[in-house]
Amino acid sequence: MTTLYVLDVDDFRPLAEVASKDPDATVRRRGPYLEVETVGEIRIERGATGCRNAVWYSSVAAVEGGRVSRWDKVELVVEPWGDAP
């Protein structure tokens, strides 16, 4: 499983909300965090989150079962281990 944690505050909640539109993804509340989990990769388009630069680039709280393979002005991609080049 690929897991992305974001802090459950107004700034970062939109990432979990956008990620939840993937039918394979589930979002759970774990303490003060939102835990986004899926079997494949997690893809979050920045434009859909409405995050400004500083918020976007500080939005990841933690990652398990994979790695951030892309995090630029277009999107954030968390790849499961094994898919990395």
Residue closest to 19 by CA, chosen among 32, 52, 7, 38: 38
Query: DSSP per residue over 12-39, as a string?
Result: THHHHHHHTTSTT-EEEEETTEEEEEES
The four Cα atoms 13, 80, 69, 15 give a dihedral, to 10 degrees, of -10
Residues numbered 53 to 72 that lie near another protein (CB under 8 A) are: 53-55, 58, 60-64, 67-68
Residue 23 within binding range of another protein, rule CB under 8 A: no
Per CB under 8 A, 22 contacts another protein: no
Nearer residue to another protein within complex by CB, 47 or 64: 64
Residue 33 sits in the site that holds another protein (CB under 8 A): yes
Binding region for another protein (CB under 8 A): 3, 5, 7-11, 16-17, 20, 26-35, 52-55, 58, 60-64, 67-68
